[in-house]
Structure 1
Amino acid sequence: MNAMHQYLFDTYRAARLGDPMPPAPGTHDVAVVRSVVDRRRFERVLAGRPARGPLRTALHRWLRPSRPRSR
């Protein structure tokens, strides 16, 4: 049984019992991902590391390589 089947069973049961309908699968996915990213960023700040993630830092280094200094 996948998430859609479970949702259909829950919707049917809620309609029969007069309970509120459950949210559709995937309704809150964006909010969950955003909260996870915010939490990880917050934990990085508390640990004294930069708030930007390692992927962004690596991309920045790759796209803007440091120039050799002239003497």
Structure 2
Amino acid sequence: MESTELAANLFGATQTDEKLRRDRVTGKKEAGDIHFQVGQKVRETIADLGGVMPEDLPTPEKSIKQIIIKNLTN
């Protein structure tokens, strides 16, 4: 995952958290629905700005697991 995808994920997560708190959501179904709605808005924003959708971003050559293992062995 590159920085663009990480940033989009973090933005979606923080906005979901804020909306859940602001709306005082406690139920799993409602929380899931809000998570989905926020995710759709994030995707709409990326598309509106002409950005690359997460599924169209290039796949890194190494996984995070490979990077961690390499760093631990050095």
Q: TM-score, normalised by structure 2?
A: 0.40
- Structure whose CA Rg is larger: 1
Question: RCO (CA 8 Å, sep 6+): is it higher in 1 or 2?
Answer: 2
User: Whose helix fraction is larger, Structure 1's or Structure 2's?
Assistant: 2
TM-score (norm 1): 0.41
